[in-house]
Amino acid sequence: MFRDFNFKLLVIDKLMYQDKVIQPRFRIADVLHAKGATGDLWKYLYEQNLLYTVLEEARRYFTDLEITPDQLATVEELTADGGLEIYHQCAPFWDGEDDLFDVTSLDDLALLPNLRVIHGGDEAMMAAPGAEDTLKARGIAVG
């Protein structure tokens, strides 16, 4: 359904972590502990050279997560911010200093018929070609 994984993450953050429409909330620590990671999560990820990447377990879960059209229709605003909970679940020690979560396509806007505002989207969305014109044409405010 979604073409841009990072755009889907913004939607999931809204529905799962902010509005609590999608439950249960995904917690990467639970997944890693179930796989046998014990003790310090930072040390475990450091030893695996996985500190600054989207963890495969999170990518798989969020890629496969189905969101219904009814759930999508409830989304009127999104927030694009380096401190989103979903980013901490995907890359727990990501520092926000690179383009790891930049949105590169706005094709998925069609999935959100009631989207009106993207907070903080001025940087995260602008990596998508023609972003400013696309958002303006859809009547979506960015700020």
pLDDT of residue 41: 85
pLDDT, tens digit, for every residue of 104-130?
999 999 999 999 999 987 777 778 899
pLDDT, tens digit, for every residue of 63-119?
999 999 999 999 999 999 989 999 999 999 898 888 999 999 999 999 999 999 999
So where are the chain's domains? 5-142
The mean pLDDT of 35-55, rounded to a whole number, is 87
- Measured CA to CA, the distance from residue 24 to residue 65 in angstroms comes to 12
pLDDT, tens digit, for every residue of 20-32?
999 999 999 999 9
Under the banding of pLDDT at 50, 70 and 90, the label for residue 40 is confident
- Measured CA to CA, the distance from residue 52 to residue 20 in angstroms comes to 27
pLDDT of residue 117: 96
Under the banding of pLDDT at 50, 70 and 90, the label for residue 34 is very high
pLDDT of residue 122: 74
